[in-house]
Structure 1
Amino acid sequence: MTTVQQSPPTPAATGIRPKVVARTGLYALLAANVAAVTYFAADAGFGSNALIVLARFAGLYGALFMAFQLLLVARLPWLDRRIGMDRLTNWHRWTGFGLLWTLVGHVVFIAFGYADLAGTMDPVNQLVNLAETAEGVLRAVVALVLILVIGGASARWARRRLAYETWHFIHLYTYVAVVLAFTHQVAIGTTFTASGAATAYWYGVWGVALGSVVLGRFVLPLWRNWRHQLRVSEVVPESDNVVSVHITGRDLDKMPAQAGQFFLWRFLTRDRWWQANPFSLSAAPDGLRLRLTAKAAGDGSAGLRHIKPGTRVFAEGPYGAFTALHRTRTDALLIAGGVGVTPIRALMEDLTGHAIVVYRVRDERDAVLYDELRDLAHAKGAELHLVTGPPVPDRLAPRELAALVPDIAERDVFLCGPPPMMNAVLGTLRELDVPKPQIHFERFSLAG
């Protein structure tokens, strides 16, 4: 353990937390659009068949959910820095289930409603007849089938069995479903054509949603990479299975990256250009270079040590809300597990106030970047604890962690490590009554 003189404290963050502002803004945006959709649907008239009225509302809310889903995964910097890609992705997933059920309800109510109007008991035949005779209905059926396939691929049991590349390829069909659903709405949507205001509203909804995706996922990455011209400057082995990659470029002092964030990195070699891997910055950006540090856990990360200096790099980002922006207290506790130390090491440079760093590894040989942490702790007046040993017994159980950090409930806690370790530590923090707003973590496995 390294313990040195405490540095002068800095004031704690004040005001409304950025995460609360962004989350409240998203809820308010969704609620306002639900109200607008309801108003325009009512203004268009309800009709005499209750099932068809229900179908109309289900379809409209489904279209709104689809647009909202696009906004959640557009990777807009303002939202991402305040909420985090992992949480936005999780909200996207749950919104997707809402979309799935509203669209299924739309089709079921339409089929039974038109069967009721025709005086038959054959809703399937009515749906087939609509697909053959009504403009845009066949496109809507194809869109629903695509949504069902995508929803099935996103179910937890399927997601665990699919390679990321396969899952991502299936999800690309979401954009096909969006186009088909929109053309269906334009062709026969009663609410869409009921008034000029309704038509303008829906064009605005889809324009903002698709425009956000184009801006966040295409325009910004292309602009930043053209501006900064990133290249590998050095590849440094940190241990037998851990390597650091140093990257330089133009005007890096103007890149809006913060300690704790990550990029999706593409190294433009013949055999790697198509792979995008999420790696955190392992040093705070200094305006001259960026550094990532990765453990060999697959073909993508294992191949990093063979990259040649001068290799061009295409980086998407920076992403993530695991930054000092979310500080609520003067002092901090940083808990790292294994190679999860990389964003913690970067954050340590950026944080002010007194910091305690707890680094959990199985063996001292696994303590990547430990020498750097020790030097930083000495320079910043921080405490550094290296906790070693097998996962059981838990070295970071409530009693053990409280002994290391007696004032833990008065500190911000930044946590990064393997999922089992993070889950265990989050349970420990709950038992120690650490307020939830003071706990900061990001599940980087969702970054892709």
Structure 2
Amino acid sequence: MSAAVAGRPAPARLVPPGAPGWWADAAGVAAVLSLLVVTALWTADRGVQELLSGVAGGLTSAGRLTGLLSADLILIQVVLMARVPLVERRFGQDRIARWHRLAGFASFHLLLAHVALTTIGYAGTAREDVVTQFWLLVTGYPGMLLATAALGLLVLVVATSVRAARRRLRYESWHLLHLYAYLGIALALPHQLWTGADFVAAPAARAYWWTVYLLALGSVLVFRLGLPAWRSLRHRVEVAAVVPEAPGVTSVWLRGRDLHRLPVRAGQFFSWRFLDGPGWSRAHPYSLSAPPAGDLMRITVKDLGDGSARVAALRPGTRVLLEGPYGRLTGEHWRGGEITLFACGVGVTPLLALLWELPYAPGQAVLLYRARTGEEIAFRAELDRLAAERGVVVHHLVGPRAGRPAWLPAYAEGATDAGTGGDAGTDAGPSGTDAGRYDGSVAQTRWGPVQVRITVSAGKITDVTALRVPDGNHRDQQINDYAVPILRQAALAAQSADIDTVSGATVTSDGYRESLQAAIDAAHL
């Protein structure tokens, strides 16, 4: 690294403010109030009188009400999933997705009731059979053919949202089918505009419906399309490096312009689109495993499907579109004091970012990290550094699961202390190893000392840990986070100190090789 780069201070990172506490109540009241307004407008337009006017008129009036309530719930769904930042920060994706699902099934059943009740009511008034009346409605009323197509699309979306069907679909396929809901809503609008009594004859109702339609449309255009496009253009994110962390687990270092201005907190995630060829348009949600620092940030991905498998093949310089940040697993909800974090496999990634950001005291943070085998533990060097620099107590719980719904490994089943047998930076239980550890000599470089430790088992280097690296300023730490994992993987692959220099970290690479060779000599390899 050059002196100019090493001495450059990292800009202060923008931390977004938390959502006001009253927002949850206000949002809930607004949703309920919209349903009450719809019911009041139906009542003002003689809805109750028509409901009591007879069987046919009553069915038709009930059909109007169910259709209006269905439309309102559909628009609430659209706003819920428009990724409005204030809504995201207050409720989080999990809770919003549950409400979206409940509103979706409720609106769908109300929509089916609207079709059935209206058709039967019209058939009773015209003294036609139901099938003939349905055909006459579809073919004879303005906008009804489009509304029928909209109904078909919404049936498709709901059918693929049932859990049994969802499990059979790839995420990419399900997400693409789910987007047809927007087309369904657009196709249904002309029917309400041209033939809906509340639009045609009631100015107050017409004003309300135009307002909520435009609000939903504006939310999608601004927050689902406009804001992500603006951030992608402003920050110009691209792939800086791709680093293997464990079998099937890959970290991607991303660089961009003014990343410290991204309103993101540790623990949050973005939806990423990598412009690497066909399929780039499908977004993939990945958490940050390291928050933005200077012009770099990091995500870590496990190979679980077509999209995640492509991450390992990304090349430096690949442009990236980002959408977010999302999620509420952040320090905003931590009130200080002791904190215990539970992670399993690649799920440790957002917790790593939190462990670097939260202002806890040494010894206050405990991480319980589950893995099936020692090889699946990622970020060993970084966890060692967290233990050394921040006083994090790390317990690696390694071994097969005792059985569902148990979370602990089999050897720990029934233990009163989940951390029994584990020390900071070591493997707990029988999967731990008695392999020798050898520390290399300290290599003095112009930016500071470098020292590594190797773990040897069966005559092979099974792990390499950086004990000391230059840390004179924030930029040094940023470069170490980027370079040390690459050097570690290279050393494990080469089983020697004959490894390449990491671009941008020449001095650290030289010191790493020197100390590594000393450790190898001490192990008589």
Contact 2:247 2:375 in 1 (8 A): no
Counterparts of 1:269 and 1:155 in 2: how far apart (Å)?
32
Once the two structures are superposed, residues 355-410 of structure 1 have per-residue CA deviations (whole angstroms, 9 ceiling, x without a partner) of 1111111122211012212311332223211111111154639986862489xxxx
Between 212-221 and 326-335, the greater mean CA deviation after superposition:
326-335
Aligned to 1:368: 378
8 Å Cα contact 1:153-1:167 kept in structure 2: yes
* SS of equivalent residue, structure 1 residue 321: coil
Rounded to whole Å, the distance in 2 between the matches of 1:238 and 1:163 is 25
Contact 2:264 2:325 (8 Å CA) reproduced: yes
**Following TM superposition, by how much is the alpha carbon of 1:259 offset from its aligned partner in structure 2, in angstroms?**
0.7
Cα distance in 2 for partners of 1:373, 1:153 equals 41
Give the corresponding residue for 1:44.
45
Query: Which residue of the partner structure matches residue 232 of structure 2?
Result: 225
Using the TM superposition, give the Cα deviation of residue 280 of structure 1 relative to its aligned residue in structure 2, in angstroms.
1.1
Matching residue of 2:350: 343
Match of 1:26 in 2: 27
C-alpha distance in 1 between matches for 2:282 and 2:145: 36
What TM-score do the two structures reach when normalised by structure 2? 0.70
Deviations 1:304-328 (A, max 9, x none): 2332212211112212112112225
Q: CA deviation at 1:255?
A: 0.6
**Structure 1 residue 22: Cα displacement:** 4.6
Give the alignment partner of residue 80 of structure 1, picking from 62, 82, 88: 88
Q: Letter of the 2:242 partner, please give it.
A: V
- Compared with structure 1, are the counterparts of its residues 287 and 81 closer, same or farther at alpha carbon in structure 2 (3 Å cutoff)? farther
Give the CA RMSD over aligned residues: 2.3
What residue in structure 1 maps to residue 440 of structure 2? none
1:93 aligned residue: 101
Per mean C-alpha deviation after superposition, the further-off stretch among 223-232 and 313-322 is: 313-322
1:183 correspondence with 2:184: no
Q: TM-score, normalised by structure 1?
A: 0.81
* Residue number among 88, 91, 114 corresponding to 1:106 in the alignment: 114
Secondary structure class of the residue paired with 1:280: strand
Residue 372 of structure 1: SS of its match in structure 2?
helix
Distance 1:20 1:374 in 2: 37
Contact 2:271 2:283 in 1 (8 A): yes
Q: Give CA-to-partner distance per residue, 1:261-316, whole Å, 9 cap, x none.
A: 11122221224523422211111222421101122223332332332212211112
Question: 2:289 aligns to what SS in structure 1?
Answer: coil
2-structure distance, mates of 1:305, 1:142: 41
Aligned-partner residue type, residue 220 of structure 1: L
Deviates more, 1:339-348 or 1:309-318: 309-318
Aligned residues: 389
Relative to structure 1, is the Cα distance of residues 214 and 104 closer, same or farther in structure 2, using a 3 angstrom cutoff? same
Distance change (3 Å), C-alpha of 1:133 and 1:401: farther
What residue is the counterpart of 1:293 in the other structure? 300
Distance 1:366 1:272 in 2: 29
- 198-207 vs 349-358, which deviates more? 349-358
| Percent identity between the two aligned chains | 40
Alignment partner of 1:193 out of 193, 196, 200: 200
Matched residue type, 1:77: P
Alpha-carbon shift at residue 145 of structure 1 (Å):
1.8
Counterpart of 2:173 in structure 1 is: 166
Structure 1 residues 326 and 21: CA distance shift in structure 2, 3 A: farther
CA-CA distance at 1:241 after TM superposition: 2.5
In the alignment, the residues of structure 2 paired with residue 400 and residue 253 of structure 1 have an alpha-carbon distance, to the nearest angstrom, of: 46
How far 1:253 moved relative to its partner? Answer: 1.0
* Mapped pair 1:403 → 2:417: yes
**1:286–1:65 CA distance, 2 compared to 1 (3 A):** same
8 Å CA contact 1:259, 1:281 repeated in 2: yes
One of 212, 222, 234 as aligned partner of 2:219: 212
Check if 1:115 corresponds to 2:127. Answer: no
Contact 1:19–1:83 (CA under 8 A) maintained in structure 2: no
Stretches of structure 2 that go unaligned for 5 or more consecutive residues are 1-17, 421-525
- Give the superposition deviation at 1:95: 1.1
Q: 356, 360, 368: which one pairs with 2:366?
A: 356
1:124-163 equivalences under 5 Å are: 124-163=131-170
Asked if the contact 2:237–2:256 (Cα under 8 Å) also holds between the matched residues in 1, the reply is yes
2:274 to 255, 267, 280: 267
- How many angstroms apart in 2 are the aligned matches of 1:305 and 1:143? 40
More helix by share: 1
